[in-house]
Amino acid sequence: MVSDCSEKGFTIVELLVVSLMLALLSGILYGTISGILRGRSIVLGEESTARTAQYVLERMSRELTGRVALPLDDTRGSSGGRGSTPKYLRASKSSSSSEGTDRLRFISSNAAQTSFRSIQNFGLVEVEYRLQDPVSSDADLPIDEDDEKFASEDKVLVREESPADVDEEKTRDARTLVFPLAERVRGLQFRFFKDGTWADTWEPKRASLPQAIEITLKLRGSEESIDTYRTAVAISRPTRTSNSGSPTPSPRPSPVGTPSG
């Protein structure tokens, strides 16, 4: 009986070599696809961060150029009148952990929120920007592990507005709007230019406004990258009010570029 040796199969060594090659190619392909998706996520995250920063800085700049030389109401809740020492702009810290001035209050004629929960302010509006800790109301929603890892130091940029030409406390409280403008905020700083010098604080000896205000906004982008955005708003001579209480507009300069120093 003659055996037929014409049909041959693969040996175990050949199968192992092929399996290893397939595993190696699969690993390379997975790494390539994963890198592409990760890169796309980073790019989209950076674009979203840039859009948020552009919106915030443009809004702040527009409202600051419409500021009005009216004293802030620092006695609300007590006598209900204006403070004895006029302050057209108040700068302070949101908390002791802040690196610098991150809270700003002023009165603007170009700041009313278009629409918010059917409440709409108009005319002169007192505006405040500040940082605060995020308040989570979505505890049951799934949170990305990477986002949770890097979010421990995040703050929320909050904008508050109330009518500046209303003296009745009840009406002011009813028309006060507080809403977030940006999340993932890692820093907000204001600096003030006066008489050729930039200062981190604004404590004038008399009622006055700075000649320019620098705004620095830091947002957390993809992963733990911190993106810094900066602009400066030139402040022209103060807008004063006439005897009728209506503001007399002054020229409104456009925001200028980032100052040095």
User: Which pLDDT score, from 0 to 100, does residue 35 have?
Assistant: 59
- Phi, psi (5° rounding) for residue 156? -115, 130
Token pair 């006029």: residue: 86
User: Which pLDDT score, from 0 to 100, does residue 160 have?
Assistant: 93
Tell how strand 155-163 and strand 226-234 pair up.
unpaired
Long-range contacts, stretch 83-86, CB < 8 angstroms, 24+ apart: 85/207, 86/207
Residue 184 and residue 219: Cα distance in Å, rounded? Answer: 6
Condensed to tens digits (0 to 9), the pLDDT of residues 25-70 reads 877 777 766 555 555 555 445 578 888 999 999 999 999 998 888 8
Coil, helix or strand at residue 230: strand
How many CB atoms are closer than 10 A to CB 209? 22
User: Which pLDDT score, from 0 to 100, does residue 99 have?
Assistant: 76
User: Which stretches in the chain have pLDDT values below 70?
Assistant: 1-9, 32-46, 74-85, 96-97, 113-119, 136-150, 223, 236-261
pTM: 0.68
Residue 176 corresponds to which tokens in the numbers above? 């006060």
User: Which pLDDT score, from 0 to 100, does residue 122 have?
Assistant: 78
Condensed to tens digits (0 to 9), the pLDDT of residues 5-21 reads 555 667 887 778 888 88
Residue 196 and residue 143: Cα distance in Å, rounded? Answer: 48
Coil, helix or strand at residue 174: helix
Q: If 0-12 CB within 10 Å is exposed, 13-18 middle and 19+ buried, where does residue 71 land?
A: middle
